[in-house]
Amino acid sequence: MRFETIAPAQIPALRQHVHRFATFMGYDEAVDAFLAAASIVRWDLSDRIMDRQGGATGLVFVAEGQVSLGFPGGGDPETTFGQGTVVAVMDLGEGEATPTVDAREPGWGFHITASAFDDFSRLHPGVQRRLGRLLRMQYRRATNLNL
């Protein structure tokens, strides 16, 4: 797995990929700010993309490929997500179930750290609210909760 910084000259070409995410529909002004705060992550089959133990937390917006979200030792089955979805691993505090994100097929996406996303959210609260609803739905799906 490798992370690549997004250069300002790359932003125009990457806009089309960000527009695939429902999170950004109707928030065109937020796309450039998101790309300025994010990096590109590329993964190979079976790479661990994020987990709290390794210190990598944040959000991954999957542009191509598939990733799985799982809760090690929690007994919950893994849930697979593909192109156009977002997965998150945040530091929820001690004792909280923390997911891992693993590659299921080669691909790439956008990674933004939790602190960078907090800064972005202050400027674009509409995107943050929409993403919060989406992540809650995905968490319920991943943990088979019926809330």
Domain architecture of the chain: domains with CATH:
2-141 (2.60.120.10)
CB within 8 A of 56, min separation 6: which ones? 49, 50, 89
Measured CA to CA, the distance from residue 103 to residue 49 in angstroms comes to 7
Measured CA to CA, the distance from residue 103 to residue 106 in angstroms comes to 7
pLDDT tens figures, 2-56: 999 999 999 999 999 998 888 888 888 899 999 999 999 999 998 988 887 665 6
Q: Is 76 helix (H, G, I), strand (E, B) or coil?
A: coil
Measured CA to CA, the distance from residue 8 to residue 10 in angstroms comes to 5
pLDDT tens figures, 62-93: 999 999 888 766 555 678 889 988 888 875 55
Q: Which residues pair with 100 in a beta bridge?
A: 70
